[in-house]
A and B are shown apart, each in its own frame.
Chain A
Amino acid sequence: MQKPILELIKITKIFGQTKALSNMSLALYPGEVHAIVGENGAGKSTMIKIMTGIYQPTEGQIRVDGNVRTISNSQIAREAGVAAIYQEPMVFPDLNVAENIFISATNDGAWLNPKRQRQKANALIEHIGMALDVDQIASGLTLAEQQAVEIARALSQDVRVLIMDEPTASLSEHEATQLRQIAINLAKEGVAVVYISHRLEEIFEIADRVTVIRDGEHISTKLIKDVTSNSMISEMVGREVDNFFAKAPTTKTDEILLKVSNLSLDGVFEDINFDLHKGEILCFSGLIGARRTDVALSLFGVASHSSGSVIYNGQEVKFGSPREAMDAKIAYVSEDRRKFGLAMPMSIQSNMSLATLKNFLNRFGLLKVDEERKMATNFKQKLNIKTENVELEVGMLSGGNQQKVMLAKWLNMKPNLLIFDEPTRGVDVGAKVEVHNLIREFAAAGGAVLVISSDLPEVLSLGDRILVMREGKQMGILSNEDSNQEKIMALATGQNIQKEAS
Chain B
Amino acid sequence: MVALLTKINPQLLRILALLLVFLTVLLFFSLVVPNYLNGRLFNRISSSVAIMALIATGQTLVIITRNIDLSIGSIVGFVAFATGSIVTNNPDLGPVALVTYAMLLGAGFGAINGVIVAYLKVPSIIVTLATMALFRSVLVEYSNAKSITTSNLPDWLISFPNTVLWHFGNMQFRAAFVVAIVIVIVVHICLSRLRVARKLYVVGSNPEAAEMVGINSKLVVFVAFILAGSLAGLAGFLFLARFGTITVVAGLGLELKSVAASVVGGVNIFGGSGTVIGALIGAMLVDLIDMSLVRWQFVSEFWREAVLGILILLSVTADAVLMRKLTAIRQKRKGVSE
Q: Determine whether A and B are in direct contact in the complex, meaning some CB atoms lie less than 8 angstroms apart.
A: yes
Chain A residues proximal to chain B, CB less than 8 Å: 52-54, 73-75, 77-78, 84, 86, 90-95, 99, 103-106, 108-112, 133, 135, 137, 153
Q: What are 23 residue pairs bridging A and B, where the CB atoms are less than 8 Å apart in the complex?
A: A54-B212, A73-B214, A74-B212, A78-B213, A86-B212, A90-B208, A91-B206, A92-B205, A92-B210, A93-B205, A93-B206, A94-B204, A95-B202, A103-B213, A106-B195, A108-B195, A109-B195, A111-B194, A112-B193, A112-B194, A112-B195, A112-B198, A133-B334
Nearest neighbor of A154 in chain B, beta-carbon distance: B213
Q: Which B201-239 residues have a C-beta within 8 angstroms of A?
A: 201-202, 204-206, 208-216
Chain A nearest CB from B252 CB (Å) reads 33
Nearest neighbor of B204 in chain A, beta-carbon distance: A94
Contact B195 A105 (CB under 8 A): yes
Contact A91 B209 (CB under 8 A): yes
Q: Bound complex: CA of A356 vs CA of B334, how far in Å?
A: 46
Chain B nearest CB from A196 CB (Å) reads 16
* Residues of chain A within 8 A of B268, CB atoms compared: 94
* Residues of chain A within 8 A of B77, CB atoms compared: none
Contact A111 B214 (CB under 8 A): no
Contact A90 B209 (CB under 8 A): yes
Contact A92 B212 (CB under 8 A): no
Contact A137 B212 (CB under 8 A): no
Contact B206 A78 (CB under 8 A): no
* Residues of chain B within 8 A of A105, CB atoms compared: 195
Contact B214 A75 (CB under 8 A): yes
Q: Bound complex: CA of A110 vs CA of B9, how far in Å?
A: 22
User: Please, how many residues of chain B have a CB less than 8 angstroms from a CB on the other chain?
Assistant: 26
Contact B195 A92 (CB under 8 A): no
Asked, given contacts A103-B198, A105-B195, whether A90 binds B212 with beta carbons under 8 Å apart, the answer is yes
Contact B211 A74 (CB under 8 A): yes
* Residues of chain B within 8 A of A103, CB atoms compared: 198, 202, 213, 215
The 4 nearest A-B residue pairs measured at CB: A90-B209, A75-B214, A94-B272, A92-B205
Asked, given contacts A92-B205, A137-B10, whether A74 binds B214 with beta carbons under 8 Å apart, the answer is yes
Q: Which B227-275 residues have a C-beta within 8 angstroms of A?
A: 268, 272-273
Report if B179 contacts A (CB, 8 A). Answer: no
Interface string of B168-209 (1 = CB under 8 A from A): 000000000000000000000000111110100110111011
* Residues of chain A within 8 A of B216, CB atoms compared: 73, 75
Chain A nearest CB from B215 CB (Å) reads 7
Asked, given contacts A93-B272, A104-B215, whether A99 binds B198 with beta carbons under 8 Å apart, the answer is yes
Q: Bound complex: CA of A185 vs CA of B9, how far in Å?
A: 35
Q: Bound complex: CA of A84 vs CA of B214, how far in Å?
A: 12
Q: Bound complex: CA of A111 vs CA of B211, how far in Å?
A: 22
Nearest neighbor of B271 in chain A, beta-carbon distance: A94
Contact A90 B213 (CB under 8 A): yes
Asked, given contacts A92-B202, A103-B202, whether A135 binds B9 with beta carbons under 8 Å apart, the answer is yes
Chain B residues proximal to chain A, CB less than 8 Å: 9-10, 192-196, 198, 201-202, 204-206, 208-216, 268, 272-273, 334
Q: Bound complex: CA of A476 vs CA of B215, how far in Å?
A: 50
Nearest neighbor of A83 in chain B, beta-carbon distance: B213
* Residues of chain A within 8 A of B193, CB atoms compared: 111-112
Nearest neighbor of A110 in chain B, beta-carbon distance: B195
Nearest neighbor of B197 in chain A, beta-carbon distance: A112
Contact A92 B208 (CB under 8 A): no
Contact A92 B194 (CB under 8 A): no
Chain B nearest CB from A139 CB (Å) reads 9
Contact B209 A110 (CB under 8 A): no
* Residues of chain B within 8 A of A77, CB atoms compared: 214
Asked, given contacts A103-B198, A108-B195, A111-B195, whether A92 binds B206 with beta carbons under 8 Å apart, the answer is yes
Asked, given contacts A92-B205, A94-B273, whether A104 binds B194 with beta carbons under 8 Å apart, the answer is no
Q: Bound complex: CA of A400 vs CA of B228, how far in Å?
A: 44
Q: Bound complex: CA of A95 vs CA of B268, how far in Å?
A: 13
Q: Bound complex: CA of A91 vs CA of B273, how far in Å?
A: 14
Contact B201 A94 (CB under 8 A): yes
Q: Bound complex: CA of A92 vs CA of B10, how far in Å?
A: 16
Contact A74 B194 (CB under 8 A): no
* Residues of chain B within 8 A of A94, CB atoms compared: 201, 204-205, 268, 272-273
Q: Bound complex: CA of A129 vs CA of B294, how far in Å?
A: 61
* Residues of chain A within 8 A of B273, CB atoms compared: 94
Q: Bound complex: CA of A111 vs CA of B189, how far in Å?
A: 10
Q: Bound complex: CA of A69 vs CA of B125, how far in Å?
A: 40
* Residues of chain A within 8 A of B213, CB atoms compared: 74, 78, 90, 103-104, 153
Contact A90 B206 (CB under 8 A): yes
Question: Assuming A74-B213, A103-B215, what are 11 further A-B pairs, CB within 8 angstroms?
Answer: A73-B216, A90-B212, A91-B206, A91-B209, A92-B272, A93-B205, A94-B201, A110-B194, A111-B193, A111-B194, A112-B194
* Residues of chain A within 8 A of B214, CB atoms compared: 53, 73-75, 77-78, 104
* Residues of chain A within 8 A of B212, CB atoms compared: 52, 54, 74, 84, 86, 90
* Residues of chain B within 8 A of A75, CB atoms compared: 214, 216
* Residues of chain A within 8 A of B196, CB atoms compared: 110
Nearest neighbor of A86 in chain B, beta-carbon distance: B212
| Highest count of chain A CB atoms <10 Å: which of B196, B202, B209, B212 | B212
Asked, given contacts A106-B195, A112-B194, whether A95 binds B205 with beta carbons under 8 Å apart, the answer is yes
Q: Bound complex: CA of A368 vs CA of B9, how far in Å?
A: 54
Chain A nearest CB from B190 CB (Å) reads 9
Chain B nearest CB from A130 CB (Å) reads 16
Q: Bound complex: CA of A178 vs CA of B33, how far in Å?
A: 64
Chain A nearest CB from B189 CB (Å) reads 9
* Residues of chain B within 8 A of A95, CB atoms compared: 198, 201-202, 205, 272
* Residues of chain A within 8 A of B206, CB atoms compared: 90-93
